[in-house]
Each structure stands twice: as C-alpha cells, then as structure tokens.
Amino acid sequence: MIAVFDDSVQRAVLHHMNADHTDDNVLIARAFSPLPDVIAATMTTFDGAAGEWHVITADGAEDVIRIPWPGGAITERAEVRREIVALYDAASARLGVEPRPHS
C-alpha cells in the first residue's frame, strides 16, 4: 500500500518547494521529464511512492510527470526531504550540473 501524507504535510512541503526551490523543481523536471526544454516546473503532490511536477516547455507544451523516489517507498514526513534531495542530486548528475551543498 502506498503511503498518503495528510493535507498539512502536503501543503507545507509543496509551499516550501514552490516558494523556496523553484530552480530545483526545474532542474528535477529537466532531468526526468520526457519533454525537452522544460522552462518551468511546480511540484503538485506526492505520496509514499513518488513526487509529481507540472511542467511547461519553451514551446508551451504542458505535462504532469511522476518521479519515483530514488530510495524506494517512504512513509514518514522526514523521508520526503531526504528523497527530494536525492532527486535533486540525481538530476544534477544526469544533467552534469554541480549540486550545491545541502544543509
């Protein structure tokens, strides 16, 4: 069974990602989207199996991509951060971008 996070956890994580990590959202989407030339990405939801991002490309195409957590299924709020950081690191590696340090 896939873990579902309550609304308060969803709101907090999505607000943080979409307010404080807009560049990270785009980097993750560029690395994992099947669409080329992603110019904007917003994290829209997540569960214990994956995160989802709404993406927009340079030519205006839109899609929603679902990206599985690199470490596998999660069940705890603290694991969400760990997995998003892992996605960021994997995206950086895939795109040949030097990742910034994590605090």
Does residue 33 belong to any structural domain of this protein?
yes
**Residue keyed to tokens 């994956």:** 50
Give the CATH number, domain containing residue 61.
3.20.180.10
The pLDDT value given to residue 23: 96
**Statement: the pTM of the whole predicted model exceeds 0.85:** yes
HEC letters along 6-42? CHHHHHHHHHHHHHHCHHHHHHHHHHHCCCCCEEEEE
Does residue 103 belong to any structural domain of this protein?
no
Does residue 57 belong to any structural domain of this protein?
yes
Does residue 20 belong to any structural domain of this protein?
yes
Domain span at 36: 7-94
Does residue 2 belong to any structural domain of this protein?
no
Strand partners, 40: 56
Number of domains into which the chain is organized = 1
CA distances (Å), origin 78, targets 5, 6, 35, 42, 98: 11, 13, 30, 21, 25
Does residue 19 belong to any structural domain of this protein?
yes
Mean pLDDT in consecutive groups of 10 residues from the start of the chain, 103 residues: 95 97 97 95 98 97 97 96 97 95 79
DSSP 8-state symbol, 101:
P
The pLDDT value given to residue 101: 86
Does residue 102 belong to any structural domain of this protein?
no
Q: How many residues does the chain have?
A: 103
- Pair 11, 81: CB distance under 8 Å: no
Does residue 99 belong to any structural domain of this protein?
no
